[in-house]
Amino acid sequence: MPIITYLLADGTKMNIEAEAGANVMRTAIDADVPGILAECGGAAMCATCHVYVEEEKASIFSEISDVEEEMLECVTEERKPESRLSCQLTIPVGVDQVTVQLPVPQD
């Protein structure tokens, strides 16, 4: 079972055991990870599931679609090269551990 580590904006770390092939946003919602709101339910239409992925693990995920890219341009937090919508991230079978950083909310 893969472990998804969520590094929260306040520095807290949450390690959540996920199902094989799990979705990063869905796993966070099911585990009440604070900071991932997922207002659109995973339709890539709200950007409230924004996370930063580890640079060295970025290639395990599917490429950013045009729709995701458009939404990432709308994030209210800092946009970085490693920015992704966590609803678009599925943990590939065979991957044991993934860490995502939640962005610091902007005022």
- Which of 18, 47, 72, 100 binds ligand FES (CB under 6 A)? It is 47
| Residue, CB closest to ligand FES | 87
β-strands 83-85, 97-101: how paired?
unpaired
Residues 10-29 close enough to bind ligand FES by CB under 6 A: 25
- Written as one letter, the residue type at 42 is G
Run of H or E residues at 24: helix 24-30
Site for ligand FES in 71-100 (CB under 6 A): 71, 85, 87
Residues of this chain that interact with ligand FES (CB under 6 A) are 25, 38-40, 42-49, 71, 85, 87
